Amino acid sequence: MHPSEEQQDILDHKDNLFTVYFPHDNLVIQRMMELFVLGCTGVVVFLHGANFFFHVLSQHLAVRSLR
């Protein structure tokens, strides 16, 4: 079913109001998602690096204490 002419005018008007208040909404959401994914990736890389560092450090200290 296609909307009537009056319904289509209302829909067009709502779209225009939305673009007036939020002209770059899709771009903003895209950038926010990119920053979110980048931030999560950074946290994961940092935690893996810290885990590797402390693993090597603990192995080094364990070998030193056995000598």
Task: Show the tokens assigned to 30.
Answer: 């895209």
Distance (Å, whole) CA 7 – CA 5 = 5
pLDDT of residue 7: 66
pLDDT higher than threshold 60 for residue 19: no
pLDDT higher than threshold 70 for residue 5: yes
C-alpha radius of gyration, the chain, whole number? 27
pLDDT of residue 42: 98
What pLDDT, in 10s, does the model give residues 22-64?
556 778 888 899 999 999 999 999 999 999 999 988 887 776 6
Of residues 67 and 48, which shows the higher confidence score? 48
